[in-house]
Structure 1
Amino acid sequence: MRTVYLNGDYLPETEAKVSIFDRGFVMADGVYEVTSVLGGKLIDFGGHLTRLQRSLDALEMKNPLSAEEWLEVHRQLVARNAVEEGMVYLQVTRGNPGDRDFAYPADDVAPTVVLFTQAKSGLADNPVAKTGIKIITVPDIRWGRRDIKTVQLLYPSMGKMMAKKAGVDDAWLVEDGFVTEGTSNNAYIVKGNKIITRALSSDILHGITRAAVLRFAREAQMEVEERNFTVDEAKAADEAFITSASAFVMPVVEIDGAALGNGKPGPLTARLREIYLDEMRKAAV
């Protein structure tokens, strides 16, 4: 049985309980992060903590733990659950004010802090990276602050179910004719050895893996262009891929039924995945 963390205590997962009045439950008033684990170590942990603080600041929530405390809890959970490969999920909500109300509670209401692990063997050696994923495009009808990593994930869940019903792996979200991002990942196309991805704004999540991958790409002398791209442009691309904390760099081989290139993962995407995993393993904590 997994050991989880709840408000300062390490507990068996069956004993961890949160109030029905918690604002994360009734208002989706909370933020989260997911950090991958490879070889029992945390990948890009500092980036996730920085984004956590950004999300908390955007919602005017106090950070309940210091950077050192967050690291200790993550390491404790990885060790107690013997996770070699997988993820650590953390969530901070505005807590339990004692009843339901739209207004934020008083500052003395303690936030709810939850962390748990998910063991996933073969995360780095995922065979799907060799074959690629197929996606569809769906309208992006989410709210205007997608840069805040909140627990309100209903439409991304719906998007994944649309993809599943269509017999493919995932969906890219489209607004005003341009791809914003994937349901739970950032989106990229490759044309003539140039990597094209949407620039950072409130329209997309500021991906931690995205930041690292683009940095490594530039260091490897790959050309990067941060701009909007259309669905038609994506279908005509030489390669495409997604990035996320758990997928790392994952090739896309089909969009709305149209095969990209020869229908197989391209060399630039494969190289980027290799570079990312090598560099992240070296820097893991």
Structure 2
Amino acid sequence: MSRIVYLNGEYLPEADAHVSIFDRGFLFADAVYEVTSVLGGKLIAFDGHAVRLQRSVDELGMNYKVDMDELLDIHRQLVERNSLEEGMIYLQLTRGNPGDRDFVYPAQDTTPTLVLFTQTANLLNNPKINTGMKVITVEDQRWARRDIKTTQLLFPSMAKMMAKAAGVDDAWMFEDGAITEGSSNNAYIVKDGKIITRHLGNEILHGITRAAVLKFAKSAQMEVEERAFTVEEAKNADEAFITSASTFVMPVVEVDGQALGDGKPGSVAARLREIYLDESLKQAI
């Protein structure tokens, strides 16, 4: 059965959903996006994603006001129409179709393009939970406003392919010798029991999962330090992990070919994943 997707107010079979070639999302990556996880047919951290969407829209000066109730209804409709139990809902908002190609932003009354679709995925039982991920480090060559969740994802895609060519799972990007984040996730190391992750700024995405995990870690009396850490620190960490909407908390066991700790998923990551899932499922809507 074909997926049912949402496009500008309509629910359509995916084969019937079409966007203009003049849409600025296609021509300029003039678009923002969010990905919300679904577990047991319920949305995880929906409010956080909606709030961040509005922030991205505001930072780019797009003509769109997030209606929380309307957006929640669209998400729930897609879950129901696609019988989605476990997976993700992808949302993309573009500045719209001005009718031609021009670097200058179109008139403010240009209608934005809003697209949402579902993806099924094995989120709870990803095999990497037991084996851990291996990563390489690559120089960060993205634009300077990584705090805005735009669809400008060419370099992260290139980083993913560099990791694939190296026979590992992902890439952590670095700038001036310090790790910024993973290609599609926030990065963390653990040293002497302390969780270390880069502080918020324009250099990294302000992860919704990141915020929740750090809050839960502090509530569990875990020590957290938000600062830049170097590639060398990462290689010499006791353990490491990533967070994202689709991986929750996922252990990292190797950086640039160097095993961390005993080369197995660490206890801090395991505990944080357990806490995160427990609390998030309680709050799922």
| TM-score of Structure 1 vs Structure 2, range by shorter chain | over 0.9
Report what 2:38 is aligned to.
37
**1:11-54 C-alpha deviation (Å, 9 max, x unpaired):** 00000000000000000000000000000000000000010011
* Deviation of the 1:64 alpha carbon: 4.8
Matches within 5 A, 1:236-251: 236-251=236-251
Report what 1:60 is aligned to.
61
Are 1:119 and 2:115 counterparts? no
Moved over 4 A (4+): none
Report what 1:155 is aligned to.
155
Q: Which amino acid aligns with 1:21?
A: F
Q: Which amino acid aligns with 1:202?
A: N
Report what 1:224 is aligned to.
224
Report what 1:135 is aligned to.
135
Q: Kindly, what percent of the aligned residue pairs are identical?
A: 71
Are 1:185 and 2:215 counterparts? no
User: Which secondary structure state, in structure 2, belongs to the residue aligned with residue 250 of structure 1?
Assistant: strand
Task: Give the number of equivalent residue pairs.
Answer: 284
In 2, the alpha carbon distance for the partners of 1:82 and 1:64 equals 28
User: Which secondary structure state, in structure 1, belongs to the residue aligned with residue 163 of structure 2?
Assistant: helix
In 2, the alpha carbon distance for the partners of 1:170 and 1:62 equals 35
Report what 1:3 is aligned to.
4
User: Which secondary structure state, in structure 2, belongs to the residue aligned with residue 21 of structure 1?
Assistant: coil
Q: TM-score scaled to structure 2, two decimals?
A: 0.99
**1:240-275 C-alpha deviation (Å, 9 max, x unpaired):** 000000000000000000000000001111000000
Report what 2:18 is aligned to.
17
Report what 1:176 is aligned to.
176
In 2, the alpha carbon distance for the partners of 1:69 and 1:113 equals 12
The answer to whether the 8 Å contact 2:36/2:46 transfers is yes
* Deviation of the 1:145 alpha carbon: 0.2
Q: Which amino acid aligns with 1:51?
A: R
**1:70-117 C-alpha deviation (Å, 9 max, x unpaired):** 000000000100000000000000000000000000011100000000
> RMSD in angstroms over aligned alpha carbons?
0.6
Q: Which amino acid aligns with 1:159?
A: A
User: Which secondary structure state, in structure 2, belongs to the residue aligned with residue 161 of structure 1?
Assistant: helix
The answer to whether the 8 Å contact 1:90/1:115 transfers is yes
Where does structure 2 lack aligned partners over 5 or more consecutive residues? none
Are 1:214 and 2:214 counterparts? yes
In 2, the alpha carbon distance for the partners of 1:173 and 1:237 equals 17
In 1, the alpha carbon distance for the partners of 2:267 and 2:246 equals 21
Where does structure 1 lack aligned partners over 5 or more consecutive residues? none
User: Which secondary structure state, in structure 1, belongs to the residue aligned with residue 206 of structure 2?
Assistant: coil
User: Which secondary structure state, in structure 2, belongs to the residue aligned with residue 100 of structure 1?
Assistant: coil
Report what 2:27 is aligned to.
26
* Deviation of the 1:65 alpha carbon: 4.4
User: Which secondary structure state, in structure 1, belongs to the residue aligned with residue 134 of structure 2?
Assistant: strand
Report what 2:199 is aligned to.
199
